Amino acid sequence: MNLAELHPGAKAVIVKVKGHGSFRKRIMEMGFIKGQLVEVIKRTPFRGPSEYNVMGYHVSLRPNEAHLIEVITPEMAADLPEQQFEGIIDLDKLKTSVNQEGKNIQVAFVGNPNCGKTSLFNFVSGAREHVGNYSGVTVEAQYNTYDFNGYHFLLTDLPGTYSLTAYTPEELYVRKHIFHNNPDIVVNVIDASNLERNLYLTTQLIDMDIKVVIALNMYDDLKNSGAFLDIDKLSRLLGIPIIPTVATKGEGLNELFNKVIDVYENRDPNVRHVHINYGREVEQSIQAIRQTIKEDTLFPVSMSHRFLAIKLLEQDGHAIRFVTKHQVNKDILKTGYHEISRIEGILSESSEAIITDAKYGFISGALKETLKPGYSRRWFHTNAIDKILTHKFSGMPLFLFFMFLMFYATFQLGSYPMDWIDSGVGLLNEFLKQVLPAGMFNDLITDGIITGVGSVLVFLPNILILFLFISFMEDTGYMARAAFMMDKVMHKIGLHGRSFIPLIMGFGCNVPAIMATRTIRNRTDRLLTILITPFMSCSARLPVYILFVGAFFPNNPTSVLIGLYLTGILLAVVTAHLFNKTLFKSKEAPFVMELPPYRIPSFRSIVKHMWDKSEQYLKKVGGVILIAVVIIWVMGYFPREVEFSKDYHTEMALLKHQMNQTSDSIEMETCQRQLTTLHIQMESEHLSQSYLGKVGRLIEPVIAPLGFEWRMGIALLSGTAAKEVVVGTMGVLLQANEGAEPDEQTLMFRLRELKYEAGEKAGQPVFTPIIALAFLVFVLIYSPCIGVVSAIAKETGRWRWALFMVTYTTFLAWILAFAVKQIGTLFF
């Protein structure tokens, strides 16, 4: 808890003082230090300052200042497990206890994309966060813990960012996290082979006046190039300790965290706050703005005044909004605009460019004094590979070949383990039918859970193969090249080349793909990319595709599968072009994107990524899919008492009696087939009169023009929870029946054999290849799952965009499925 939460009369012991720069120094000089007892004397009305007693002095603090002081009550200190107390608890014992509590250190990892930040985070914490060799893999903070040398580290892996401006959501996210969460130490991870570019972010951390430790990562690359870096001298110039690391091998990590402890405990002599000299005119403007901020007595003190002044000079939109919200007399912004006008008039350049040039000048000067460059062959192999993979003639055919190979392997290689799992599920189901006592519980377990969940589980190998290819392309750096090659195509439809990476990620899962759009700087481009990403066939749709393609297009499954994916891409292109002409009319954004060097991904990294995705899939199977199939089974199972068109039980009893009376094998086989047919007819008739059947009949008029039967409507409705549920629902609705031949127990066979029971179409197959194709097109396009809808609302900040997505995709799905059915019927 913090000091602002205490009521008058309450006492507490200070654990930690957060905040930055002069505020932290001033507050500690006044006696607010770790282990000190503080008492709340009184509060003023209207959330004004409160009076506190510390070290015998009465001191007033505003609520936003008191909020930055973490405390625990004396009782809480006494209860800490590390220290046992007997009798009277004196202040010295409380301080000892507080020191134990103060060994919780909050560490935030900050760095450029591709600097190895997430690799370092994963190695230390044992996390399985994906490491991709392109920007924007980590699109939100990841959290974990780490215990080292008696300290408990609360680790945060922040999104990769090149700077702390407010151009992109991840830049603003990192900046807000540092100011709002006040990490004790920021670990700035730097690519040792690209110091000049990486140190730009470091200069902004220096301006923020916070505690920083630099992890000089990929240090082996720098040494192998023959370069020499005077680390101690660079550390003194920056006022920041620097520790060489190789995150992928775990080298230097113990030294890094020992240094974090030293900086946290104020034991490192090299730590000092430096001011980057931006030149006489800019420094004069910074000082003028800082002085105006200080004069506003009610202005928040949690942010470094120098950093805020620099951001105002850079005309940073978020900084301007922050000042507008908190300033009282409007003088801060007035001074800022005056100083911008003054220095731009004197130096004939935009204030932002002046500050950026000064930062790079500082970096260049520091590296001239400390770095002796070497020669790196790091880019030699990358350039050689790029001559082939990104060549104007060979690049695109190779990309299409890789896509074909991915889908071919997903379908063909995945079919073998899929059959093994399918057989295992069938044997388990049959075993449980025999072992469990007959009744509703038996039916729930076998016909409901095992059949429904098993129908989805069998596609796990296909999911793994798909993510193997996607992970390999991400980790090697090829994904960034694909975006590079596709920029011209994306530009033609009004999108940015960066949009290609989220769209490709959408083949895995639409949720992280939508989150990855944060790397697109232009809001309009970002919103447009979000609205077309669900057209990319995610892995959740893959089980539906494989089921229906295998059932109705067994002779050319790869072609149909690729056709579905290409249809989704084509729809995304057409929709983007249409929206660009109507909803969004934005100015063109430049294509700026890092092309990292190729790297050979580690086997450990790829396996971790595959396991992570399979774990998510299995959790979904055991979560939302399990719940959905149970609900569907219950709705299909009740009511038990329905009025049948004929007495099935009597007819089946007669057939069983006839089988017992005869020894003729042919007659027995005939009776068995009739018995199976009667059983199927009875179950189908019961299902049509169940609660589920009533819901299906209710929505059937809407989907009837598409050639869809009510069972298909139920499956589509359940698919809004998760697309895999479509398969699980069909598994429950069309469960294999006792007495069927082994090959007839498969869901594919049941789909092919499903017939209309009544009406004009009685006896006709429900699914034909044309109807199956129309169904697949509908599944490809219609409303994304709940997770995607939620992600759209979160990323756009408005539910209206999510509802718009659900509406227009479902409407488009109906139109195109209708077109497929009509055209297909006309020609075939």
The DSSP secondary structure of 473-517, one letter per residue, reads HHHHTHHHHHHHHHHHHHHHTT--GGGHHHHHHTTT-HHHHHHGG
pLDDT of 59 reads 77
Q: Which residues does 732 contact at the CB level (< 8 Å), separation at least 6?
A: 447, 448, 451, 452, 629, 632, 633, 636
CB atoms within 10 A of CB 799: 13
Cα four-point dihedral sign 693, 538, 116, 496: negative
Q: In whole angstroms, give the CA distance from residue 490 to residue 496.
A: 6
Q: In whole angstroms, give the CA distance from residue 209 to residue 263.
A: 14
Q: Are 536 and 506 in contact (CB under 8 A)?
A: yes
In the structure encoding, which two tokens stand for residue 130, read together?
């994906």
Q: What's the rounded mean pLDDT across residues 390-413?
A: 82
pLDDT of 78 reads 64
DSSP E strand stretches across 623-723 = none
Q: In whole angstroms, give the CA distance from residue 777 to residue 279.
A: 62
CB atoms within 10 A of CB 427: 10
Q: In whole angstroms, give the CA distance from residue 23 to residue 153.
A: 25
pLDDT of 77 reads 66
Torsion angles phi and psi, residue 397, rounded to 5: -60, -40
- Read off the amino acid at residue 53: N
Residue of 458, 455, 501 lying closest to 477 (CA atoms): 501
pLDDT of 318 reads 83
Does residue 502 have a pLDDT over 80?
A: no
In the structure encoding, which two tokens stand for residue 781, read together?
């396009």
Q: What's the rounded mean pLDDT across residues 747-763?
A: 80
Q: In whole angstroms, give the CA distance from residue 809 to residue 691.
A: 28
pLDDT of 379 reads 63
pLDDT of 342 reads 93
Which range, of 419-423, 441-445, 510-514, 776-780, averages the lowest pLDDT? 510-514
Note the pLDDT tens digit of each residue in 166-216: 666 777 888 888 888 889 999 999 998 888 889 999 999 999 888 999 999
Q: What's the rounded mean pLDDT across residues 26-38?
A: 73
Per the model's pLDDT, the better-predicted residue between 613 and 366 turns out to be 366
Q: How confident is the model at residue 238 (pLDDT cuts 50, 70, 90)?
A: very high
Q: Are 334 and 340 in contact (CB under 8 A)?
A: no
Arithmetic mean of pLDDT over the chain: 81
In the structure encoding, which two tokens stand for residue 429, read together?
């189901």
CB atoms within 10 A of CB 645: 10
Q: In whole angstroms, give the CA distance from residue 518 to residue 169.
A: 6
Q: In whole angstroms, give the CA distance from residue 216 to residue 232.
A: 12
> Residue 223 belongs to what H/E stretch?
helix 219-224
Q: What's the rounded mean pLDDT across residues 691-715?
A: 87
pLDDT of 281 reads 92
Write the DSSP symbol of residue 643: -
Does residue 741 have a pLDDT over 50?
A: no
Tokens 């609900």 correspond to what residue?
631
Class of residue 56 by CB neighbours under 10 A (exposed 0-12, middle 13-18, buried 19+): exposed
- Residue 388 vs residues 391, 396, 476, 480: alpha-carbon distances, Å: 5, 10, 15, 15
Residue of 248, 262, 257, 188 lying closest to 219 (CA atoms): 248
Going by their DSSP bridges, the two strands 242-244 and 57-61 should be labelled as unpaired
Q: In whole angstroms, give the CA distance from residue 727 to residue 613.
A: 19
Instruction: Report the DSSP beta bridge partners of residue 38.
Output: 12, 54
pLDDT of 127 reads 64
Residue of 256, 283, 259 lying closest to 362 (CA atoms): 283
Note the pLDDT tens digit of each residue in 779-806: 999 988 877 888 888 888 888 998 999 9
pLDDT of 422 reads 79
pLDDT of 89 reads 43
Note the pLDDT tens digit of each residue in 257-267: 999 999 988 88
Torsion angles phi and psi, residue 40, rounded to 5: -85, 120
Instruction: Report the DSSP beta bridge partners of residue 721.
Output: none
Q: Are 174 and 158 in contact (CB under 8 A)?
A: yes
Note the pLDDT tens digit of each residue in 648-693: 888 888 888 888 888 888 888 888 888 877 876 777 777 778 887 7
Q: In whole angstroms, give the CA distance from residue 592 to residue 116.
A: 21
Q: In whole angstroms, give the CA distance from residue 57 to residue 110.
A: 39
Note the pLDDT tens digit of each residue in 44-99: 776 667 888 887 667 778 777 788 888 888 777 666 554 343 334 455 555 554 55
Q: In whole angstroms, give the CA distance from residue 546 to residue 239.
A: 59
Q: How confident is the model at residue 591 (pLDDT cuts 50, 70, 90)?
A: very low
Cα-to-chain-centroid distance, residue 193: 29
Note the pLDDT tens digit of each residue in 597-652: 777 777 777 777 777 767 776 776 677 777 877 887 788 788 878 788 788 888 88
pLDDT of 648 reads 82
What dihedral do alpha carbons 557, 560, 563, 564 form, nearest 10°?
A: -100
Q: Are 721 and 767 in contact (CB under 8 A)?
A: no
CB atoms within 10 A of CB 515: 22
